[in-house]
Structure 1
Amino acid sequence: MPGSVHESVLDAIGATPLIRLRRVTEGLAPAIYVKAEWQNAGGSVKDRAAMWMIRAAERSGALGPGGVIVEGTSGNTGIGLALVGGFLGYRTLIVVPDTTAAEKIAALRAYGAEVVLTPGGLPRDDPRHVINLAARIAEETPGGWLADQYGNPANPRAHHDTTAPEIWEQTGGRVTCFVAGIGTGGTLSGTGAALKERGPVRVVGVDPVTSAYGGGDGSPYYVEAIGHYRHPDTVDDPWPANWDRSVADEVVRVDDRTTMRTARRLAREEGLLLGGSSATAVAGALVAARDLGPDDVVVVIAPDSGRAYLSKYFDDGWLRRLGFLDEPDAHVPGPLVGDLPVVAVPVVRASWTVARARAALAGTPGPAPVTHDRTDGAAAPSEILGAVTSADLDGLPDDDPVRHHVRPVPPSLGAGEGVEGARARLDGAEAAWLVRDGRVAAVVTRAAIGLAPSD
């Protein structure tokens, strides 16, 4: 059958196929399909919301001739806005955190967008936060219009009017379970609500395990375009207006390691090179499907392709440095760092006093990470403020804040890295931190890695 003929690129947004998963679903009773949103013109599900938001702004007069489209995003919404906006003759200015995959930043520039980088992991109240900075730029730019994917009702409306009817028609009304990751909330809220209007469809949201949406502490995770990070210094932390929590019947939490492994399995076993948020959603769907029967039909939103993340989730070196890949490999000679004898390291919180930190560090060789305040859990590197040893605290007043006495952080070694290659990175340091699943797990001494004591 010949493919569709479109009169413009805008007609190539939507009408994406369903693809049934065959191998990663082994042992599960229901049929599980992914909605191939990477086949939209701009490569992601966000093309739908981008076109709906721009068209709604044109109708309302908020975006007029010569206008400038401004948005804060982790990439995909910006690509959709640049694609649609460029075709319609608008200038596009996109603010992205500096943790965004390089491939997505390059794509934004290729579509003609002006890219403004801002630090990731900031408190929500910080004026440099991606959402705040985009709002300020839109306000100060003549003709500026802030797309506001988090609060713009045209975002979920796009999915209510297009994604849901497509799924219903493609499954012949047999869909019984709809699964989507939670980012802005627009895809899940719009699609889920519209499917529930048509029949008894169970709606499952999927969230990174530390994301605040699913009940995590809001600490960092390694999957882009999904979840809700909450900086500990944030005062006011509003959730997106487009995340209608009443639509989701449950939220499944997926850890980063499971996401990485699922992404690689999908590529190697299903021939589907998908992004991290897609892999998270599929992993969540596999969990939800355990309770379903052979008459059930599950549809999972796969937001984008893995081509935008080749330098991350599909790069063995990146995964090994962060401790997500720690199996022996012929390309990594000799023993792995994770095989070495290590010493557990406590996490020192920034609000602690010297006395409390001294007690926690008793008997610990090497430096411990000093991090932002969290209730518990290992230290995420992006939240480490410095390092401290028991010796650093000798003679200091007990009630001094420990954060005033930190030293620079030591090198980090991924559990999956080869010892031979890792030795060079110590470079005179007295010890290193062992990283597993993206978090500091232990101290590796120079002796353990086969080096003489530092001077």
Structure 2
Amino acid sequence: MAAEEPAEIDAFDSVLDAIGGTPLIRLARIAPPGGPRVYVKAEFLNPGGSVKDRAALAMVLDAERSGALEPGGLIVEGTSGNTGIGLAIVAAQLGYRLAVVVPDKTSREKIAILRAYGAEVVTTPGTVPREDPAHVRQLARRIADERGGWLADQYDNPANPAAHRETTGPEIWRQTGGRLTHFVAGVGTGGTISGAGAYLKEVSGGRVRVVGADPEHSVYSGGDGSPYLVESIGHYRHPDTAEDLWPRSYHLDVVDQVVPVGDRESILVTRRLAREEGLLLGASAGTAVAVALRVAAGLSPDDLVVVVVPDSGRSYLSKYYDDGWLDRLGVPVGHAGELTVADVVGPLPAAAPGLRESATAGEALASAGGHELRPVGPRASAEPPSVAEVTGTLDVGELRRAVEAGVVRPGDPITGYVGGTLPAIGLGETRAAAADRLGGREAAWLLSDGRVVGAVHKGQLEPAPDGGGAGS
């Protein structure tokens, strides 16, 4: 009796073959009722947990073909984490070494994942001018030059948007049967929205509308460029940056509209996606879905929206899913039955804008607005400053007395009256937790959504004699 032919094995030859081909998943519960169908492109199901696996593979293969990357060579990249993870997977499979530079706001989960794959991780300050040698991209370039490595340079590498033009866009068009009307994606390096958006516009004859999602303080949507809480999206710009160059991977002509979203909305939508849709995602996905829901609210049932959700929430369990982390930054998650800092401090005066160290005494006093402590940092802004950029504290009372005594003239700089920065307490923290963290210190910055809106003094957090809060 003849032996049977062995059955065909349904398997990938390597993990690299598992990159791409992610499904569409309909938002069944949080999409507007009676409106268009809204689907997420589930990029968190890539092997590395993010959409960046696609660009990482494409950039390495392109470098191999061009001879820029030699066998066993060193790959170097500046990244918020996800591209580094994608490159780590590719490097492990193809026999390369990898060094990544990440900003210090990168989640500890991403750093742990990078190290688990064998990558060398270098952490650097995330809030420095572009020209500073410590800037993520500058430091990555220097490491590549000094060690003879190949710099992937996702921001300017044409293989980044090309990966999405060749894979992500065609997948979405095929999965929707050509019925797609609106495509939404966050804008980071710009590769996803530029590549996939260009393909979808071309194949639809211009019918598909491409909408970008962006943190409200990112410069892409007209923000001031100050720091924001959401990782892996947007464009930060230090005020001392001499020339703000946008990534060449971002093709502005492809995008019809860029919509800003506040950190709080992004994070709360992210948490809703987990609890109502069963989708554990990063907050950049919350930003993109928030925009997709706004877009969908104005459409008919005949429209069809696809939104890219770039990465998994497993990389952010210590951030957006950690109530304590959100409490400390002033993003409210609720503490039923417990007094919060907001309860005990009462109404705040209008938030004083941040001061630059180069501000004059007259300017500082004229804009004090009832605040006795002022945050000092790299930018002066009409909006509350991000705590990430606060480097010092001005005692307004001390400065005022110096001016009145004639020791300081109104035109003198405030530099000599700027002390160290204060600890920070979120408005949503419980009074007891905030008091414990303040310890023996006399004052702390009050934060709302990661931004300084005032100061709180030790006495305000101490229980009143009747056991209530100081403001009760």
TM-score (norm 1): 0.95
Alpha-carbon deviations, 1:186-237, whole Å to 9, x = none? Answer: 0000000000111110000000000000000001101111000000111111
Q: 1:14 to 1:384 in 2, by over 3 A?
A: same
CA distance in 1, matches of 2:53, 2:422: 42
- SS in structure 2 of the partner of residue 204 of structure 1: strand
Question: 2:246 aligns to what?
Answer: 239
1:255 is aligned, of 249, 262, 267, to 262
2:23 is aligned, of 6, 11, 17, to 17
The correspondence of residues 387-398 of structure 1 with structure 2, limited to 5 A, is 387-393=393-399, 394-395=401-402, 396-398=408-410
Contact 1:343 1:444 in 2 (8 A): no
Contact 2:323 2:333 in 1 (8 A): no
Matched, 1:264 2:276: no
CA distance in 2, matches of 1:288, 1:302: 16
Question: 1:216 aligns to what?
Answer: 223
2:47 is aligned, of 41, 51, 59, to 41
Paired residue type of 1:211: S
Q: 1:145 to 1:362 in 2, by over 3 A?
A: closer
1:193 is aligned, of 185, 193, 198, to 198
Paired residue type of 2:418: V
CA distance in 2, matches of 1:419, 1:78: 40
What's the CA shift for 1:268? 0.3
The correspondence of residues 47-196 of structure 1 with structure 2, limited to 5 A, is 47-142=53-148, 144-196=149-201
What's the CA shift for 1:342? 4.9
CA distance in 2, matches of 1:238, 1:113: 28
Matched, 1:357 2:364: yes
2:318 is aligned, of 286, 311, 314, to 311
Paired residue type of 2:450: G
Contact 1:203 1:249 in 2 (8 A): yes
The correspondence of residues 250-329 of structure 1 with structure 2, limited to 5 A, is 250-329=257-336
What's the CA shift for 1:398? 2.1
Paired residue type of 1:238: L
Question: 1:337 aligns to what?
Answer: 341
Q: Share of identical aligned residues, percent?
A: 56
Say which one has the larger Rg: 2
Paired residue type of 1:431: A
CA distance in 2, matches of 1:155, 1:194: 14
Matched, 1:430 2:442: yes
Alpha-carbon deviations, 1:144-174, whole Å to 9, x = none? Answer: 1000100110000000000011001101011
2:419 is aligned, of 386, 407, 422, to 407
What's the CA shift for 1:326? 4.8
- SS in structure 1 of the partner of residue 150 of structure 2: strand
Contact 2:184 2:307 in 1 (8 A): yes
CA distance in 1, matches of 2:366, 2:46: 56
Alpha-carbon deviations, 1:352-397, whole Å to 9, x = none? Answer: 2012212333643x42212222442001111112111222212223
Contact 2:81 2:106 in 1 (8 A): yes
Paired residue type of 2:437: R
Contact 1:156 1:242 in 2 (8 A): yes
RMSD: 1.7
Alpha-carbon deviations, 1:285-306, whole Å to 9, x = none? Answer: 1111122111111111111100
Q: Which runs of 5+ in 2 are unaligned?
A: 1-8, 403-407, 465-472
CA distance in 2, matches of 1:191, 1:27: 28
CA distance in 1, matches of 2:43, 2:378: 37
What's the CA shift for 1:66? 2.3
Q: 1:193 to 1:88 in 2, by over 3 A?
A: same
Paired residue type of 2:453: A
What's the CA shift for 1:323? 0.8
Contact 2:353 2:380 in 1 (8 A): no
1:417 is aligned, of 420, 424, 429, to 429
- SS in structure 2 of the partner of residue 95 of structure 1: strand
- SS in structure 2 of the partner of residue 368 of structure 1: strand
What's the CA shift for 1:412? 1.8
CA distance in 1, matches of 2:445, 2:352: 12
Question: 1:444 aligns to what?
Answer: 456
CA distance in 2, matches of 1:304, 1:215: 25
- SS in structure 1 of the partner of residue 243 of structure 2: coil
Question: 2:405 aligns to what?
Answer: none
Contact 1:17 1:36 in 2 (8 A): yes
TM-score (norm 2): 0.91
Of stretches 409-418 and 122-131 in structure 1, the one that deviates more from structure 2 is: 409-418
Question: 2:385 aligns to what?
Answer: 379
Question: 1:206 aligns to what?
Answer: 213
Contact 1:342 1:448 in 2 (8 A): no
Contact 2:375 2:393 in 1 (8 A): yes
Q: 1:375 to 1:411 in 2, by over 3 A?
A: closer
Contact 1:361 1:389 in 2 (8 A): no
CA distance in 2, matches of 1:234, 1:56: 31
Contact 1:338 1:434 in 2 (8 A): no
2:33 is aligned, of 27, 30, 34, to 27
- SS in structure 2 of the partner of residue 246 of structure 1: helix
Q: Which runs of 5+ in 1 are unaligned?
A: none
Contact 1:217 1:374 in 2 (8 A): no
